[in-house]
Amino acid sequence: MKRVAAVHDLCGFGKASLNTIVPILSSMGVQVCALPTAVLSTHTGGYEGFAFEDLTEYMGKHIEHWKKLNLDFDCIYTGYLGSYKQVELIKDFIEYFERKDNLVLIDPVMGDDGELYPSITEDMVKEMRELIAHGDIITPNVTEAQMLLNIEYKGCRNIAEWKEILIKLSKLGAKKVVLTSAKEEGNDKVLTLAYDGEEERFYKIENPHVDVSFPGTGDTFASLVVGYMLKEEGFKESLRKSCSFIYKMITESNGKVKDIREGLPLESFMRELIMEEFELLELSEI
Ligand code: PXL
């Protein structure tokens, strides 16, 4: 069984971070080993007065024990951090547990819609620029991408400009860059754009725009990418399948969820993700 070290926070309520990563990857047949960066009562998107405990002090002890146990991981997946001070610790973690063939996916979770999330500081943006250099794949949304590059936030750009942004992001160190929630002038679709720096290829996936924004969707997307990559689907197919599944979850949940702050009702979709495990054989082959 493939094993992922998931470096992310735990929100008690709402589908985000580890509450998302565990069901998705478990349903895809991947074992999740959590390295929690913070504990919160809820995610920070739309809930006032959330309780927040930064786990920077604790994380060192957690990692030391994992080292003593000689654990190894097929993937290190990092996301929301409790403090910018965790970046140094996580860089060491990656260096220690990295193997020639394991995947490092860094989701630089910092903000959306042109704004930083309430708990994220400018120091985090600076440190995250350093951390993404250690990723094989990074998955910023357009807000995070523009913060990482320190350029003006614009939701909408033409494809040539997005390609330039993808190249600039890959120059920060990660071989593969996936940019989510992009918009193009004159096109009302939502774009997922990607650049594979090793093959020097660009990819674009278009989804019809759905007028609803479930918090935690970025975590769901990154978890799916990790899952499909570990199932050896390859970069291009992993993106295609992740975008299709996200789109399906959003369209089928739209209008059915009373309070969208709770995020996507993942439980309704996990059976389908498990069923993907079954192989389809032609009767003549049996
Ligand atoms: O989905 C990203 C995320 C993760 N963790 C926490 C968050 C958010 C987004 O709001 O608040 C705590």
DSSP conformation letters of 196-243? ETTTTEEEEEEE---S---TTHHHHHHHHHHHHHHTT--HHHHHHHHH
- Ligand 1 within 6 A of CB of 90: no
The reply to whether ligand 1 has any atom less than 6 angstroms from the CB of 43 is yes
What pLDDT does 277 receive?
A: 63
pLDDT at 278: 62
- Look at residue 279 in the predicted model and tell me its pLDDT: 59
**Domains in the chain, please, with CATH?**
2-285 (3.40.1190.20)
227 CB within 6 A, ligand 1: no
C-alpha of residue 137 to centroid of ligand 1, in Å: 20
Residue 136: which of 204, 235, 205, 2 has the closest Cα? 235
- Give the burial class of 247: count Cβ atoms within 10 A of its Cβ; 0-12 exposed, 13-18 middle, 19 or more buried: middle
Low pLDDT (below 50) residues in the chain: none
pTM above 0.75, yes or no: yes
For ligand 1, atom 2, the nearest C-alpha belongs to: 216
Residue 81 near ligand 1, beta carbon < 6 Å: no
**What pLDDT does 280 receive?**
57
What pLDDT is recorded for position 284?
Answer: 73
- For ligand 1, the distance from its centroid to the CA atom of residue 80, given in whole angstroms, is 6
Q: What is the pLDDT of residue 155?
A: 84
Residue 82 neighbours by CB under 8 Å, 6+ apart: 9, 37, 38, 52, 53, 54, 55, 56, 119
Rounded Cα distance, 179 and 247, in Å: 16
pLDDT at 172: 97
Q: How far is the CA of 92 from the centre of ligand 1 (A)?
A: 24
What integer pLDDT is reported at residue 17 of this predicted model? Answer: 98
pLDDT at 283: 76
pLDDT at 131: 98
Q: Which of 17, 24, 143, 217 to mutate to test the pocket of ligand 1 (most atoms within 8 A of CB)?
A: 17
